[in-house]
Amino acid sequence: MNQWQRLVFSLLTVVALFVTGICGSAAAASKTLILATTTSTQDSGLLDILIPAFEKESGYFVKTIAVGSGQAMAMGEKGEADVLLVHSPDAEKKFMDKGAGVNRRLVMHNDFVIVGPAIDPAKIRGTKSSAEAFKKIATSGSLFLSRGDNSGTHAKEKGLWKGAGITADGQKWYQQTGLGMGQTLNVAAEKKGYTLTDRATYLALKKSLGLEILVEGDAKLLNIYHVIGVNQAKWPKVNAAGAKAFGDFMVGKKVQDVIGRFGVDKFGAPLFFPDAGKKPESLGL
Amino acid sequence: MELILEGIAKAVALLTSLDREVMAITWLSLKVSGSATLISLLLGISGGTALALSDFRGKRLLVSLVNTGMALPPVVVGLFVSIFFWRNGPLGFAEILYTPVAMIIAQAIIATPIVMGITVASIQNLPPNLRLQILALGATRGQMVWLLVREARLPLLAGVMAGFGGVISEVGASIMVGGNIKGYTRVLTTATVMETGRGNFDVAIALSLILLLLCFAINYLLTRIQQRERPR
């Protein structure tokens, strides 16, 4: 063999080794679980704590796919995920009515806040009602950044515009980023615009943003997370046992305590409030 | 400016402390993109050589399709690979979506036309009489093809660099078919996107610098081989 034949031969060997090595590690696929979730649970860092604990306890390997709530439910509707952790209650009800999900359980909540630049061109600081704040933004024509990605946050925001009686879509001051929460906050900070965000992602990013919380505390701004198993009767390939195990894990006492403490050491206040076992009505749903 | 310096400091810290997660992410990037490049070399060089040396109706159309493929948008590849490998999709039984294998497949699809296009160009660029000369010396057809590929090896190395550069820096397809799963399919590019979304710009900059360093190291190596053999 000359030099070039040897080179080709060794390249082939390396490919074979890599591919078999990687296939080997993927062989234990039956114990895997696909979790489709919102970007907020990943960007806040909560899942970095919970997922390894679940994997250790249950023996499942979790493939976390962080997308918006809308895409997560679309994956569930096609049987492409096993379990969802989402925050879009109205869309979740439709999802359940279609028979796409099973065993929907309340996990936790935090709240949405309206953030914007410190100079606050629309003068919404301290407004008690989110509808009024949205009206002020619209009438002053101040820039508002929407995620525009069918995520739970986007669904909430659309509901708020509707509640305020405003058609924001197509207005010049209303821009859709089509990005996750973290990146939309970055865009809002750069363009000095307003946006609606969940508190957890905002606090996690606050240091680099220069945006301030201007409106908070309205009951309409509650952000409620549910865990939902995908219906195995509809999609036989769904890992129902794993989905149930993950749901049980999320509402278990130990994890609920972890959720309640998460973020306290870093932000001085919790990012999420554990709600397992509570009646949805007690949160005003 | 301060942020960039912070990023550089972070990169140095991550590199010198040999942060295990960063090392694993870097190693996976190298494995996935390296495998994809090697697969694309096998397919691209053999296919490209065959295409360059044969003559048939529709050859021009095929060559222009290959050349179009050099500009194949990675997100399009990502979308179609996802659709095919969804577990309820046509190839779902293979259970490879959200695994490194799916990323290798997507990246190989992106790199193959690049390597093939450059191969066609470099083989066709050889002096036309070379082929006759080799045959006149009594070579078999197989020996002739081998000698032509050997003769074109320097431009072919440029094809290797273009193919590898195209896939190691690729993010759209990797995030769609791999899912950016921690410790499993998270590579340098997808991790950079995520850290940017988290507002950890220093980490994102550090990861970018590591990616640049990696590309430079590989291309430096290949360029040395190429330039050492440069005909004078």
Domain boundaries defined on chain A? 11-109+224-276, 111-221
φ/ψ (deg, to 5) at A233: -60, -30
pLDDT recorded at residue A27: 44
For residue range B18-29, what is the model confidence (pLDDT) as tens digits? 788 899 999 999
A57-A61-A63-A64 Cα dihedral, nearest 10 degrees: 10
- Closest by Cβ to B199, choosing from A11, A19, A186: A186
Reported as a pLDDT band with limits 50, 70 and 90, residue A150 is: confident
Q: What is the pLDDT of residues A88-142, one digit of tens each?
A: 998 999 999 999 999 999 999 999 999 999 999 999 998 999 999 999 999 999 9
* Residue of A205, A211, A214, A277 whose CA lies nearest to A248: A277
Domains along chain B with CATH numbers: 24-186 (1.10.3720.10)
Mutate to test the interface with A, among B30, B35, B180, B198 (most CBs of A within 10 A): B198
pTM of the model: 0.86
Residues of chain A contacting B21 with CB distance shorter than 8 Å: none
Query: What tens digit of pLDDT does each residue of B104-125 get?
Result: 999 999 999 999 999 999 999 9
Give the tokens for residue B162: 């273009």
pLDDT at B14: 80
| B 201-220 residues with CB < 8 A to A | 201
Higher pLDDT: A44 or A161? It is A161
Beta-carbon separation of A26 and B39 below 8 A = no
Residue in B88, B95, B181 closest to A80 by CB: B88
Q: How confident is the model at residue A285 (pLDDT cuts 50, 70, 90)?
A: low
What residues in B contact A12, CB-CB < 8 Å?
Answer: 38, 42
Q: Tokens for B57?
A: 């109706």
How does pLDDT run across B210-231, given as a tens digit for each residue?
Answer: 999 999 999 999 989 888 866 5
pLDDT in tens, B127-175: 989 988 998 999 998 899 999 999 999 899 999 999 999 999 999 999 9
Number of residues written out for chain B: 232
- Look at residue A49 in the predicted model and tell me its pLDDT: 93
From the list A18, A204, A205, the residue facing B35 with the nearest CB is: A18
Percentage of chain A exceeding pLDDT 70: 89
Closest CA to A258 of A69, A45, A65, A64: A45
Per-residue model confidence as pLDDT tens digits over B70-107: 999 999 999 999 999 998 899 988 889 999 999 999 99
Cα B13 from chain centroid? 29
**What are residue A113's DSSP bridge partners?**
A197
**CB neighbour class for A35 (10 Å; exposed up to 12, middle 13-18, buried from 19):** buried
Q: What is the pLDDT of residues B164-208, one digit of tens each?
A: 999 999 999 999 999 999 889 999 999 999 888 887 888 888 999
With an 8 Å Cβ cutoff, is B96 touching chain A? yes
- Give the closest of A12, A51, A182 to B199, CB-based: A182
Confidence of residue A5 (pLDDT cuts 50, 70, 90): low
Q: Distances in Å between the alpha carbon of A33 and those of A77, A83, A245, B27?
A: 16, 8, 10, 25
Report the distance separating Cα A131 and Cα A146, nearest Å.
16
The hierarchical CATH code for the domain A111-221 is 3.40.190.10
Q: Note the pLDDT tens digit of each residue in A236-268.
A: 999 999 999 999 999 999 999 999 999 898 888
CATH class of A11-109+224-276: alpha beta
Identify the residue whose tokens are 């529709």. B58
* Sign, CA torsion B193/B194/B200/B206: negative
CA A225 to chain centre: 9
Q: Does residue A13 register a pLDDT over 80? A: no
Residue B45: count of CB within 10 angstroms of its CB: 24
A180/B100 Cβ within 8 A: no
Can A11-109+224-276 and A111-221 be said to share one CATH topology? yes
Q: Which of A16-20, A116-120, A164-168 has the lowest mean pLDDT?
A: A16-20
A11: chain B residues, CB-CB within 8 Å: 38, 41-42
